[in-house]
Structure 1
């Protein structure tokens, strides 16, 4: 056990150090853990290969393509056109942090349709982020809020919702309306208010806000806006929403991203903004940067997590007697455990499955007296991603915004704590 605490300490320390060394440190730690557990080198290589292929063919491919699109529409001026288009009506709202809170609530609503937190964060980074910056909100504040919009597991389309409804032998509509909705409204209110005051407080502590206001200062308000160009950053959203609502295609996010990039390329070629060589060079550079600074971290983290003997730990504690445990203490421990698991693993799905597997051994998943506890667990199973240094959501928000991972985590600590406290209270009503 001491060895795993030491490894965890090294893991956290590496995240505070230079990001470029993080993947290598994770991989080396994974190799050390595997060798300590008696795994031979061939199996270690196979495990790493599996981690690389599973990450790149799923979230990795999505990340590199969507980030490439986000950076490209910023380069060709579409992002600034969008800011100019939206700035005038938004400028009538004097309180910029009220705008930030409103976009947080809109993001929660969108997350019921766009079920991938990473996908929603990518879309928000290419659209909402520049708008918030143009209003004078810091990069850290805007990116921190965006990293948190898609992590609440609410709605019919969430896989964890479907799973928990089945575990509790409830119809999906009954579970969402009578189980999730009340807590979701509370989370939305607490999240919006906490982001409003916490981001404002931290922004007021910044001594130099020149970088945050640079986008606004550089905008030419006399510039003639092309509506079509201004809507380009919203193109992924225009494709995703109808595809989810009206079809059963279930196109991968990277496919939608490639469609958006192709449309942008063709429009820019027709307007002679860039030539083919410049476009391809920019695209390849963006992909390589995203892979080495984001995807490689996720691969290394997944390889390390897969090397840890989580099943053995589960088996050790699966024989505990729950009869003498206070329900309030149990619900608090379970909720804190799932947040901790999610923070360490960077995945809400993995943490939820892990905790649920423990509960299956305890045979209490379907017990009525714990139904609100498991609803809370299910809904906040992904909230640890907002303060996780290995979460794809925080990594991509950090990469696109140009702020440090520690800044993203700091911006989400208070909202996360308050939402967890609310969930604990709800579990014991």
Structure 2
């Protein structure tokens, strides 16, 4: 119990530091080293097994980070970097914008404001499968979907709230959290997505869409006098460079979707006996996109130069996400060295319903952390490393713990007024982030509750 109390003390300090905008990677690394140091001083546990030890527990801390960084960069790191690099390239050549433009088009034919809004949320969440950046998707939807919602009379806060939560669930192989969850669970990413994520996510998305319908209508009626009639429309216009940029050929809509087609065809269904992992699928898609861009622009030199965007995207992910994963696992090692996880497992087992309680506890910790930090990555990266160990000791599959943790990390992000996507969309619409999260809180809470219920029903 002493180890758990010490761990909670350090976790509070780390959470406060990240909330105060200290660099997350440095905070997590420092917290992990601090807890490992206390564990060494108090003789609570070894940092590394004897066969892997340097001979000194103090040097073992740094050996742990060195081995972990090398392993993560070579495995999950390359996967996340390639996926993100491709997403950046799609944005660079304008393919992502074409995809959003085509998908939003049917909404203009409908005239029922709140049905359009609910359907817009569902379309936006589907687009998030192909546009990995929550902020990037939010900005594109502010240019395309937002004017439609405003023209129908939806209030500025309501439209901003819906668009700000279109990335509420990180789904599919393009999501770093999905990739990490799958690898930690010992599953192929596409298997994790199709078999575990998708059945739960479909129900959660529908639940959130319905909740948005009633919540935004209630807020507009209470605070806007019903539909926002009389609101000066000139004040509601967005001003973004994408408005004036020419749209690329409409057939570009297939380029962001192509990797998913390849992944499902050859990674999941093994079409004609061919098996391709995500990285080869991404490189095939990149090559085809380059050819299409060359045929469109007729400027091979420009196309070759544009590939730097792909490499820059890979580098930025290494500098942020991969280092964050390593830092999070270092923090996890500190908690393990203090015996905090074993204590938590023993406490939950004593309640007689260890698995259910542990899922709720871990999901709750991540939800609170995401709201406070404004990030879904940092908390999930920090705590996901525990899942295999916890699941093994409680006698169930790691994926049953990782799935609700991973979905919670993105859902809770939508309630934080300091998360990047909320700040970005509010910056365009001129709405207050704090007013917007009042409107997102109930739909996201429904999403969190539905996630736990569906996970228990389907995989409990």
2:325 is matched with which residue: 282, 294, 298?
298
Pick one of 138, 148, 171 that aligns with 2:169: 148
Q: What is the CA distance between 1:337 and its match in structure 2?
A: 1.2
Q: Distance in 2 between matches of 1:14 and 1:209?
A: 38
Which residue of structure 1 lines up, in the alignment, with residue 210 of structure 2? Answer: 193
Three-state SS of the structure 1 residue aligned to 2:33 is helix
Residues 263-274 of structure 1: matches in 2 within 5 Å? 263-270=288-295, 271-272=298-299, 274=301
TM-score by length of 2: 0.62
Residue of structure 2 in register with 1:101 after alignment: 121
- Equivalent of 1:382, from 378, 397, 406? 406
Alignment of 1:55-204 (within 5 A): 55-94=72-111, 95=113, 96-103=116-123, 122=132, 130-131=140-141, 133-136=143-146, 141-142=162-163, 144-150=165-171, 187-196=204-213
1:337 and 2:350 equivalent?
no
Relative to structure 1, the CA distance from residue 209 to residue 351 in structure 2 (aligned partners, 3 Å threshold; closer, same or farther) is: farther
Q: In 2, are the aligned partners of 1:342 and 1:350 still within 8 Å (CA)?
A: no
Q: Aligned with 1:260: secondary structure?
A: helix
Q: Aligned pair in 2 of structure 1 residues 10, 58: CA closer, same or farther (>3 Å)? A: farther
Question: What are the within-5 Å matches in structure 2 for residues 22-61 of structure 1?
Answer: 22-38=24-40, 39=47, 40-61=57-78
**1:35-78, Cα deviation, whole Å (9 max, x unpaired):** 22225343222211233233323332233222222222222222
Match of 2:262 in 1: 239
Residue 346 (str. 1) matches residue 363 (str. 2): no
Counterpart in 2 of 1:6?
9
Q: Is the 8 A contact 1:123 1:234 kept in 2?
A: no
Q: Shift in Å at residue 135 of structure 1? A: 0.6
Aligned equivalents of 2:183 and 2:27: distance in 1?
Answer: 32
Aligned to 2:19: 16
Distance of 1:72 and 1:400 partners within structure 2: 24
* Pair 236,413 (structure 1): closer, same or farther in 2 beyond 3 Å: farther
* Cα separation, partners in 2 of 1:386 and 1:80, compared to 1, 3 Å: closer
CA contact (8 A) 1:332 1:424 kept: no
1:313 equivalent in alignment to 2:340: yes
Cα 1:73–1:162 change in 2 (3 A) is closer
**Counterpart contact for 1:62–1:253, Cα < 8 Å:** yes
CA distance in 2, matches of 1:209, 1:41: 60
Equivalent residue, structure 2, for 1:115 = none
* Residues 246-261 of structure 1 aligned to structure 2 (within 5 Å): 246-247=270-271, 251-261=276-286
**Take 1:211 and 1:296, find their aligned partners in 2: how far apart are those partners?**
39
Stretch deviating more after TM superposition (80-89 or 254-263): 80-89
Match of 2:243 in 1: 217
Correspondence for 1:230 among 239, 247, 253 = 253
- Distance in 1 (CA, whole Å) between partners of 2:304 and 2:202 is 50
Paired residues of 2:72 and 2:326 also in contact (CA < 8 A)? yes
Deviations 1:148-195 (A, max 9, x none): 1539x9xxxx899999xxxxxxxxxxxx99xx97x8775454233235
- Summarize the Cα distance change of 1:322–1:49 in structure 2 as closer, same or farther, 3 Å threshold: closer
**Structure 1 runs not aligned, ≥5 long:** 108-117, 164-175, 367-373
Map Cα deviations across residues 4-58 of structure 1 (whole Å, 9 max, x no partner).
2232123223333447x22122222222222222253432222112332333233
Distance 2:183 2:316 in 1: 31
Q: 1:300 Cα deviation (Å)? A: 1.4
Q: 1:18 to 1:63 in 2, by over 3 A?
A: farther
Task: Confirm or deny: 8 A CA contact 1:101 1:193 kept in the other structure.
Answer: no
State how far apart, in whole Å, the 2-side matches of 1:45 and 1:403 are.
Answer: 41
> In the aligned structure 1, how far is the partner of 2:453 from the partner of 2:328?
33
**1:338/1:352 contact within 8 Å kept:** no
SS at match of 2:169: coil
